[in-house]
Amino acid sequence: MPEIDSKQVLARTWILLAIDACDRAGLTPLPKSRGHRLIFLSNCLADLFNALPPSKRVLKYKRGPFYPDVQWHLDRLATMGLADIKNFSIEEDEYGPWMEANYLITRSGVDAVQKVRDTPFGYSTSGYIDELVFSFARLNARRLDQVAMGELNYSAPGIAEGALITFEDTHTNLALRKANEFEQLAPEILTAGLREKLLLYLRYIETEDAVV
């Protein structure tokens, strides 16, 4: 029997929890591109809440954050019957051909999520992902797909297309810096408020992106 790669299991679990949260937040069917942007946003503040994301590195692609490994796991979840793919298409834009698809969680996927939530990792991780996804869902619906593009690490000056963005060093993570600034400004509100911190940061980058 082949050895199970714990990192792959962690990544797949994280992604399945995200699809499930999107389903409950009314964000499904989940377009592929939005799924990658949500995973990117989940990476930005993960360290603040002691969550371990599926990948701490991403390339700045011309179409927005994209993780080849995350895409592999998305499609793997579909072949496992835990997710479903709808509206698969090859689209053409100014950058050339691009594959798009929508993802939904299946009944088997929901059952798997319930089992995962009963584990220490699943319980803590699902709490963070739920808060992130539901905060994301409260943003302006017409701008959801642009929020990640205005994220401080992604839109930082000097980060060229094709550059590697990493969250391995908390000292260089601009999202953590801004979240800490918010907490210093309003400690009585943000000290224990996970949802408040997430929503405030997402609102901030949504507004910053809207201004650009």
Per-residue pLDDT band for 192 (boundaries 50, 70, 90) equals low
Strands 96-105 and 83-93: antiparallel
Q: What is the mean pLDDT of residues 105-120?
A: 96
**Residue 186 has what pLDDT?**
66
Domain boundaries, the chain: 6-211
**Residue 1 has what pLDDT?**
38
**Residue 210 has what pLDDT?**
43
Task: Please indicate whether residue 79 or residue 47 has the higher confidence score (pLDDT).
Answer: 79
Number of Cβ within a 10 Å radius of residue 210: 12
**Residue 83 has what pLDDT?**
97
Cβ contact 165:66 at 8 Å = no
3-state secondary structure of 80: coil
Beta strand extents in the chain (DSSP E only) = 30-31, 57-59, 83-93, 96-105, 164-166
Q: What is the mean pLDDT of residues 176-194?
A: 71
Q: What is the mean pLDDT of residues 53-69?
A: 86
**How confident is the prediction for the chain on average, in pLDDT?**
87
Least-confidence region, from 24-28, 33-37, 38-42, 141-145: 141-145
- The structure's pTM equals 0.88
Per-residue pLDDT band for 10 (boundaries 50, 70, 90) equals confident
Burial label, 42 (beta-carbon count in 10 A; 0-12, 13-18, 19+): buried
Q: What is the mean pLDDT of residues 14-23?
A: 96
